[in-house]
């Protein structure tokens, strides 16, 4: 018998570390093995415990101390109530409906055990490449697969590898971009925490293909668990001769080191990442020359992100045709998405390209939390775009998403319901972009600041005639005048919300009204005399003394004194406070 506990960051945040310790102590000396795993993707059900026994596997969710004790009784064959914590058929069906390649081992194996990875055909693909295939044949197989970079740009992986392969030089670098900076994105973190050897194997294959001898993983320092598990995996691979000198007994040498980045969003751009690796400020460089010709320390370098590398071993084992058979015409394979925001079932989902936004949000995410109406989905992170409800039938592929004004990005999906103010949402994302701009380009540095000033003005009820048109004009100038993808895509949230939700901008500017009731300077509070019971709770909680009235008599709000904090509406148990 064996017990596994999901100990990814999401599981630990939900209490999995305590549950693991409790179970470990409870099975000590019983012969029952207990192991940690990474996140299986169902973050909304954490902590998750799997119990493996002779008759199969039982999965228990939202496990607390009481549930853990029931699972221990089950392990001892005692009478128990563990069944009430079992995963529902609906949630199990959601998991089984996915096609998992990058996430195939996440939540399944112990990420700190190279033996468990090898049992799942781990390093079989790397061994095959080095012993049976030429570098050119490896690149050809990746070309057949149609794999495009999963970091955001969607550039053909084989093309980058081939360019680096053809570049002259004895020293070449294979770099992994694990600097996941999008708000609400956690795909790369989950893969590293749950299956670090898959990235190592993907990098080995890529290094063999381009002729690199050194690999570097650039991971944000805010991912301590990912860094710890990656270091453990690297050392295990070295001990087994899978990294270092003479991989698999061949003449091919390759090793990997880790660089912890400071968490700058702009370092997701490959030349800015290289600058950071070299000890400089993370700022993009002009291209050409491209990193494949002159990258890290001016040597030929290839950069792919975590998810891209995680797909490589599967492609080599199964063949490029098998990967190409999945997905859409111009977007092959599967894609991992992080579902966050107002979604009912937040977490990770991996589906074949070509599925619709609706398939993911409703089929896997369970729709909108609280049974509210879906308003929009922000795709592609802070520099992506908003897809309105009317377009949720859009297929998830690079071309279709681009036609809506959004982008695939690294795979973030932020779900927004009817209570979301789209002007305020655009302001939130633009504020993030402005802070993360490296400042090199005037259009990006100054333009995003000016756009943010206008959005702040609009949300504060001070919008002027012409502000909406000025926003659109500034957005187009920033897109055309910025050097890197950060600046070129920075206005996307504003442009898409202007395109699909222009009426909300007009309400803010012309009517001085926020229809979503989120921009407090545009809100007004009053008391409905028919519902007010005179309980005085609102008056006692009001921080500005704006509410007056006697006990058991109708209260009133002085709008001159009201600071629009909204506390009165929150505490009123009778729905007597009107918000307009």
pLDDT tens digits for range 335-371: 999 999 999 999 999 999 999 999 999 999 999 999 8
Residue of 469 and 154 predicted with greater confidence: 469
At 226, list the tokens: 């990912």
Report the pLDDT averaged over residues 130-152: 95
**CA–CA distances in Å: residue 251 to residues 128, 130, 209, 348, 362:** 14, 9, 14, 39, 51
Q: Could you read off the pLDDT of 525-544 as tens digits, one per residue?
A: 999 999 999 999 999 999 99
Q: How far apart are CA 377 and CA 556, in angstroms?
A: 39
Backbone phi, psi, residue 412, to 5°: -80, 140
Q: What is the mean pLDDT of residues 501-513?
A: 95
Cβ–Cβ < 8 Å for 408, 401: yes
Residue 445 CA, chain-centre distance (Å), reads 26
**Mean pLDDT for the stretch of residues 150-159:** 89
CA distance 34 to 379: 38
Q: How many whole angstroms separate alpha carbon 341 and alpha carbon 482?
A: 30
Computed over its alpha carbons, how large is the radius of gyration of the chain?
Answer: 26
User: Which pLDDT score, from 0 to 100, does residue 152 have?
Assistant: 75
Torsions phi, psi for 509 (to 5 deg): -80, -50
Per-residue model confidence (pLDDT) at position 24: 95
Distance CA 542, CA 568 (A): 6
* Cβ within 8 Å of residue 313, ≥6 positions away: 121, 122, 123, 124, 125, 126, 198, 201, 202, 205
Rounded to the nearest 5 degrees, what angle is found at the Cα of 557, between the Cα atoms of 427 and 580?
Answer: 40
For the chain, list the domains and their CATH numbers. 2-95 (3.40.30.10), 114-324 (3.40.50.11540), 334-417 (3.10.20.600), 422-511 (1.20.1440.230), 524-579 (3.30.70.20)
Report the pLDDT averaged over residues 216-229. Answer: 95
pLDDT over threshold 80, residue 153: no
Structure tokens at 290: 């491209």
d(CA 577, CA 580): 10
Given this model, what pLDDT does residue 154 score? 85
Q: Do 482 and 444 touch, CB atoms closer than 8 A?
A: yes
Helices (H), 364-484: 398-404, 422-436, 442-459, 467-481
Q: How far apart are CA 73 and CA 103, in angstroms?
A: 32
Q: Compute the distance between CA of residue 252 and CA of residue 244 in angstroms, rounded to an integer.
A: 9
Mean pLDDT, to the nearest integer, of 555-561? 92
pLDDT at 322: 97
Spatial distance between the Cα atoms of 428 and 190, rounded to a whole number of angstroms: 25
- With a pLDDT cut of 70, the percent of the chain lying above it is 100
Which tens digits make up the pLDDT trace of 5-15?
999 999 999 99
Closest to 289 in 3D by CA, of 306, 309, 270, 267? 270
Residue range 149-171: mean pLDDT, rounded: 93
Q: What is the pLDDT of residue 383?
A: 85
182 within 8 A of 222, measured Cβ to Cβ: no
Q: Note the pLDDT of residue 13.
A: 96
**Residue 201: per-residue pLDDT:** 98
Token pair for residue 540? 């006692």
pLDDT of the residue at 580: 82
Q: Is the pLDDT of residue 145 over 80?
A: yes
Scored b (16 or more CB within 10 A) or e, 422-451 reads bbbbbbbbbbbbbebbbebbebbbebbeeb
- Residue 163: the pLDDT is 97
Q: Which residue has the tokens 């579902």?
A: 339
Residue-wise pLDDT tens digits, 252-261: 999 999 999 9
Question: In this predicted structure, which of 136-145, 225-234, 548-557 has the lowest mean pLDDT?
Answer: 548-557
What is the rounded average pLDDT of the residues 292-319? 97
Environment class of 472 (CB within 10 Å of its CB; exposed 0-12, middle 13-18, buried 19+): middle
- In angstroms, how far apart are the furthest CA atoms of the chain? 89
In the predicted model, what is the mean pLDDT of the chain? 94
Are 437 and 448 spatial neighbours (Cβ–Cβ below 8 Å)?
yes
3-state secondary structure of 130: helix
Which pLDDT band, with edges at 50, 70 and 90, does 571 fall under?
very high
Alpha-carbon distance 459 to 453, whole Å? 10
What pLDDT was estimated at residue 263? 76
What is the C-alpha separation between 156 and 124, in angstroms, rounded?
24
The whole-angstrom distance between residue 463's C-alpha and the CA centroid of its chain comes to 34
pLDDT higher than threshold 80 for residue 29: yes
Helical (H) or strand (E) element with 166: helix 157-166
Contact 284, 266 (CB under 8 A): yes
Instruction: Indicate the pTM of the whole model.
Output: 0.93
The CA distances from residue 245 to 197, 204, 236, 445, in Å, are 18, 12, 14, 46
Instruction: Give the residue-averaged pLDDT of 187-208.
Output: 97
Angle at alpha carbon of residue 508, lines to 505 and 510, rounded to 5°:
100
Q: Kindly state the average pLDDT of the residues 154-180.
A: 95
Supply the pLDDT for residue 49: 97
DSSP E strands: which ranges in 134-272? 173-178, 214-220, 255-261
pLDDT digits (tens, 9 = 90+) for 430-447: 999 999 999 999 999 999
- Report which of 407, 577, 370, 404 is spatially closest to residue 490, judged by C-alpha positions: 407
Distance CA 134, CA 137 (A): 5
Chain segment 367-411, per-residue pLDDT in tens: 999 989 999 999 988 888 999 999 999 999 999 999 999 988 888
Average pLDDT over residues 145-157: 90
Q: What DSSP string runs through 515-565?
A: TTS--GGG--EEE-TTT-----HHHHH-TT--EE--TTS--EE-TTT----
CB–CB of 180/358 below 8 Å? no
């Amino acid at each position: 018998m064996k017990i596994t506990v999901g100990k990814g960051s999401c599981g630990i945040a939900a209490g999995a570390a305590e549950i693991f310790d409790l179970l470990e102590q409870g099975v000590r000396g019983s012969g029952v093995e207990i192991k940690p795993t990474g996140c299986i993707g169902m973050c909304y059900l954490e902590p998750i415990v799997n119990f493996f026994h002779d008759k199969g596997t039982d999965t228990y969710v939202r496990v607390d101390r009481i549930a853990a004790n029931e699972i221990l009784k089950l392990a001892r064959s005692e009478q128990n109530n563990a069944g009430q914590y079992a995963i529902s058929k609906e949630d199990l069906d959601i998991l089984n409906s996915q096609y998992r390649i990058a996430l195939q081992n996440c939540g399944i194996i112990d990420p700190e055990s190279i033996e468990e990875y090898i049992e799942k055909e781990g390093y079989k693909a790397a061994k095959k490449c080095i012993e049976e295939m030429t570098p050119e044949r490896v690149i050809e197989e990746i070309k057949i697969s149609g794999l495009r970079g999963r970091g955001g740009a969607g550039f053909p992986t084989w093309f980058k590898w081939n360019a680096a392969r053809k570049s002259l030089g004895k020293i070449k670098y294979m770099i992994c971009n694990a600097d996941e900076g999008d708000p609400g994105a956690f795909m790369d973190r989950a893969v590293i925490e749950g299956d670090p050897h898959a990235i190592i194997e993907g990098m080995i294959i890529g290094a063999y293909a381009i002729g690199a001898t050194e690999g570097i993983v650039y991971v944000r320092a805010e991912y301590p668990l990912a860094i710890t598990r990656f270091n453990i995996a690297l050392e295990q691979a070295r001990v087994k001769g899978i990294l270092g000198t003479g991989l698999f007994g061949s003449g091919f040498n390759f090793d990997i080191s880790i660089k912890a980045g400071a968490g700058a969003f702009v370092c997701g751009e490959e030349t800015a990442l290289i600058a950071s690796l070299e000890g400089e400020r993370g700022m993009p460089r002009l291209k050409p020359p491209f990193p494949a010709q002159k990258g890290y320390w001016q040597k030929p370098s290839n950069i792919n992100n975590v998810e891209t590398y995680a797909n490589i071993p599967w492609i080599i084992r199964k063949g490029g045709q098998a990967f190409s058979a999945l997905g859409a015409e111009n977007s092959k394979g599967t894609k991992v998405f992080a579902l966050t925001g107002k979604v009912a079932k937040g977490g990770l989902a991996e589906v074949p390209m070509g599925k619709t936004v609706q398939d993911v949000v409703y089929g896997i995410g369970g729709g909108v939390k609280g049974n509210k109406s879906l308003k929009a989905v922000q795709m592609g992170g802070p520099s992506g775009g908003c897809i309105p409800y009317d377009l949720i039938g859009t297929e998830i592929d690079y071309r279709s998403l681009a036609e809506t004004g959004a982008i695939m990005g690294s795979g973030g999906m932020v779900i927004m319901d009817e209570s979301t103010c789209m002007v305020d949402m655009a302001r939130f994302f633009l504020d993030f972009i402005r802070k993360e701009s490296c400042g090199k380009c005037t259009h990006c540095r100054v333009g995003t600041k000016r756009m943010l000033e206008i959005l702040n003005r609009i949300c504060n009820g001070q919008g002027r005639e012409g502000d909406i048109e000025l926003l659109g004009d500034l957005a187009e100038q920033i897109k055309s005048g910025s050097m890197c993808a950060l600046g070129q895509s920075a206005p996307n949230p504003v442009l898409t919300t202007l395109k699909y939700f222009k009426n909300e901008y007009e309400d803010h500017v012309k009517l001085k009204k926020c229809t979503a009731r989120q921009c407090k300077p545009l809100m007004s509070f009053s008391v409905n005399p028919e519902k007010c019971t005179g309980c005085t709770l609102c008056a006692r909680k009001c921080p500005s003394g704006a509410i007056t009235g006697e006990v058991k008599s109708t209260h009133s709000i002085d709008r001159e004194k009201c600071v629009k904090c909204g506390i009165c509406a929150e505490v009123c148990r009778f729905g007597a406070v009107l918000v307009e």
